[in-house]
Structure 1
Amino acid sequence: MTAPASSTTPPAPRPDTRAPLRIPPFRWYYAARLVNLLGTTMAPVALAFAVLDISDSPSALGQVLAAQSIPLVVFLLAGGVIADRFDRAILLRVTNVGAGLSQGAIAALILTDRAELWHLIVLAAFNGTLAAVSFPALASVVPTLVPREHLQPANVLLSMQRAGLAIIGPSVAAALVVAFGPGWALAIDAATWLVSAALLLRVHIPPRAPLADRGTDPGRPSFLAELREGWSVFTSHTWLWVIVLAFGALNAIHAGAWFTLGPSVAKDTIGERGWGFALSAEAIGVLVMTLVLSRLHLRRPLLAGMLGMTVFSVPLLVLGVDPVLPLLVLGAFAAGVGVEVFSLGWNLAMQENIEERLLSRAYSYDALGSFVAIPVGQLTFGPLAEAFGASRVITIAAVAYVVIALSTLLSRSVRRLERVAVMPTSEPVSGSR
């Protein structure tokens, strides 16, 4: 079911980072993601301060964030099967339009001063449901747009894009929040979802081979059969379930300590602009490391990635002990460097070791395990901060983060997984409409 893990590459030549952009479907996909990310990098900052304007409580913010993440978790497995059954480009267009309309509704409510907490909770839940379908499709679409030898350059280009806009987005959103209120940043986000959907009209993914050609019985297997097949892939790779298990806890800490308590602590210390600077600094770290990785060949992607993830404890520790802006910015920059090493390493491990026809389901099980505890973090860190103090809770969370990240390296399959050898091909992967 997977490529041989024992077949590894010798030291590789420097990747040609621009090569994927010469492939029309990837180029249009890249443009669609660029426009969309322009808005989505601003949305978390704007939404956080919109909620805090309505109810000055970390618990209220946690409720809105959890309202989005709970449906995401509940429907992820179904989203993975849907993404493996249907045209992923069409799914992405539909979910983009839906997200644009819901974000537009949130923006309109805020701009007209009619927003109540329950409005944001309901619309966030709708967005989470859409994300349950779009996330597996987004995560698995790249191998269908570029040849396998271009996977690292394609992922590097997408990381550059994310990081570059994440540098600008939080700071611009914070400036808009201070000058005009959070509604305008959310309105921009809504518009970018719709423009992205239009650009995706030019992306065509080749149809999958008939089931009979894949060595299976003719006819479409049942929904449950496809879920079981995805589960078999997930459990048969030790490195996969070990990392996912760890990220269940890491993401709960990240969501609770950083994204739920962080804005509340920042509002009382470094201010909204300071929080935007910290998030932008993390994105700068991602961008810098992306440029470095565009010239390097990751030999053991998961070993490097999990060592990189330990660095995220640094800004958490600064936030908990003494949120001085220069130290927080430096810590966030370092965290961005580490996060990008993991991000590239993880995508390469998944895309090179899991069959394309199963990739959406593998990513959905990955996301389910990684995201399942996020609502727990979002809902519990606020009350914990009220009971024991935000500084103490965040500091303990920082220490736990390091311990959990390093524990994954006890698994030999995580430490030893290497890149899979591929033969270069000159055949085009797909065409464009």
Structure 2
Amino acid sequence: MTTVSGGASLWRDQQFALLAGARIISVLGNGFARVALAFAVLALPGASAGRLSLVVACQALPQLVFILVGGVIADRLSRARLMVVADALGTVAYAGLAAMVLTAHAPLVAMCLLAMAAGTATALFAPAMDGLVPLVVARDRLQRANGLLRVGTNSSMLLGLALSGVTVAWIGAGWALALNAASFLVSAALTARLKVVGRPRQKASGWDGLREGWREFASRQWLWAVVAQYAVVVAALNANVGVLGPLTAEQHLGGARAWSVIVTAQAVGTIAGAGLAARVRVERPLLVAVLCTLPAAAPIALLSAAAPVWLIAVAMFCAGVTSDVFGVLWTTTIQREVPEEALSRVSSYDWFGSLAFAPLGLLIAGPIATAVGTSQTLAGCAALIVLATAATLLSPQVRTLRAPTQTPAKAQAENHQNSAGTADTDAGPAKA
């Protein structure tokens, strides 16, 4: 393990600073919404675990349905402009949710439709964002850039989570949702100024683009093996964060404030993890990344055992550290190993596979908890994470893929080429 150097100047790069600033502001709003949405639904008349499951599942489902479309569009058109479209849609969705909660008129159908709009915004945004970073920074600085982006966004998420519990308890969940809507709007205004290296337009049809993206995805065992792992892991984590965790907090831990402490501890851990991942180089990044998934099972198991809040928070902190080490190593590996012209499509298959079971997990978490108990359902989620991670380690490519070596001369040349190649052809508005 060695230290990654040469990244301090990234903050002086106007394009990187614009991208990072937009992400930091929008994620700050998402920090409020992460706590507010669940407790807004639970506070409505007739609230139940099944109702909460339905709303959060409606938010997750479009992420699965439209993520491949987002990848094709991002590889054919301006990734930055597509990100601004996603910001605008997110603004409308969360403003509508806030208005319904604040007026106490929140029909279930309307909440589900707006939750679907918010999920669609994420589906359009995510592949474009993954493909945009390599156009903003040089190849040898990708890990550093991904780490710094996560440090900034995780710090803003921490601030949002730290304030969200107080906001929900004192003012109400509606205002927290309104702040998230405003953050999408500010993000779009900032990233409208973003200019990146131009790309040739894709001439193939949308269907041909999907097939080409699938060939790039399926030809790499390490890629689909980890995505298969995360199809299970994300379903378990989302069931915990979206349904089972808030239910346990409401029933046994003291409500929104206790849950805010727990998720804030995770956010603190992600800052530490992203900072660590930005500074170190590992020879086998995928092996390290997959092993970093295991600690995610610990806080879920502790919730199942009705452990004290402080102990669950410590476990969530550790899980946060390792989750962002995974995130930086995984994102950087994809950006290094996949050709740039197919990067957003491959990223969309990554997102599609990882989210494949997320809506189902959210939808059935509440009914299963009602049928067999919240504690037993949480224990099952923890076991699924451990089993999926162990299965992924059977892949030879996951265990052996090594990070590329790079000489200082080559790195310097790439930095010079990147700074000289900035153009206006992909300029456009950017979030999710």
Same fold at TM > 0.5: yes
Residue 299, structure 1, aligned to residue 283, structure 2: yes
- Residue in structure 2 matched with residue 188 of structure 1 by the alignment: 179
- Residue in structure 2 matched with residue 340 of structure 1 by the alignment: 324
Query: 1:17 deviation in Å?
Result: 3.2
Question: Greater shift after overlay, 352-361 or 262-271?
Answer: 262-271
- Residue in structure 2 matched with residue 170 of structure 1 by the alignment: 161
What TM-score do you get using the length of structure 2 for normalisation?
A: 0.93
- Residue in structure 2 matched with residue 215 of structure 1 by the alignment: none
Residue 416, structure 1, aligned to residue 400, structure 2: yes
- Residue in structure 1 matched with residue 215 of structure 2 by the alignment: 232
- Residue in structure 2 matched with residue 430 of structure 1 by the alignment: 422
- Residue in structure 2 matched with residue 61 of structure 1 by the alignment: 52
Measure the CA separation in 1 of the matches of 2:262 and 2:9. 33
Residue 117, structure 1, aligned to residue 108, structure 2: yes
- Residue in structure 1 matched with residue 32 of structure 2 by the alignment: 42
CA contact (8 A) 2:269 2:317 kept: yes
SS in 1 for 2:211: helix
- Residue in structure 2 matched with residue 72 of structure 1 by the alignment: 63
Closer, same or farther in 2 for the Cα pair 1:168/1:13, shift >3 Å?
closer
The sequence identity of aligned pairs, in percent, is: 34
Measure the CA separation in 2 of the matches of 1:174 and 1:36. 18
Residue 263, structure 1, aligned to residue 255, structure 2: no
CA contact (8 A) 2:144 2:279 kept: no
- Residue in structure 2 matched with residue 352 of structure 1 by the alignment: 336
Q: 1:407 aligned to 366, 384, 391, which one?
A: 391
CA contact (8 A) 1:19 1:153 kept: no
- Taking only aligned residues, the RMSD between alpha carbons, in angstroms, comes to 1.5
Runs of 4+ in 1 over 4 A off after TM superposition: none
- Residue in structure 2 matched with residue 217 of structure 1 by the alignment: none
Measure the CA separation in 1 of the matches of 2:65 and 2:307. 35
CA contact (8 A) 2:4 2:144 kept: no
Question: What code does the residue aligned with 1:48 have?
Answer: A
Question: What code does the residue aligned with 1:36 have?
Answer: S
What TM-score do you get using the length of structure 1 for normalisation?
A: 0.93
Query: 1:13 deviation in Å?
Result: 5.2
Residue 157, structure 1, aligned to residue 157, structure 2: no
SS in 2 for 1:269: helix
- Residue in structure 1 matched with residue 11 of structure 2 by the alignment: 21
Question: What code does the residue aligned with 1:195 have?
Answer: V
Residue 283, structure 1, aligned to residue 281, structure 2: no
Query: 1:227 deviation in Å?
Result: 0.6
CA contact (8 A) 2:151 2:274 kept: yes
Which whole-Å deviations, capped at 9, do the CAs of 1:152-178 have from their partners, x for residues lacking one?
111011110122122221221111110
Query: 1:60 deviation in Å?
Result: 1.1
Aligned residues: 415
Structure 1 gap ranges (5+) = 1-10, 212-219
Residue 388, structure 1, aligned to residue 379, structure 2: no
- Residue in structure 2 matched with residue 8 of structure 1 by the alignment: none
SS in 2 for 1:161: helix
- Residue in structure 1 matched with residue 430 of structure 2 by the alignment: none
Measure the CA separation in 2 of the matches of 1:84 and 1:19. 28
CA contact (8 A) 1:51 1:117 kept: no
- Residue in structure 1 matched with residue 311 of structure 2 by the alignment: 327
Measure the CA separation in 1 of the matches of 2:330 and 2:9. 21
- Residue in structure 2 matched with residue 254 of structure 1 by the alignment: 237
Measure the CA separation in 2 of the matches of 1:290 and 1:356. 24
Which whole-Å deviations, capped at 9, do the CAs of 1:204-251 have from their partners, x for residues lacking one?
12221366xxxxxxxx11111111000000100000000111111111
Measure the CA separation in 1 of the matches of 2:122 and 2:380. 31
Question: Greater shift after overlay, 251-260 or 363-372?
Answer: 251-260
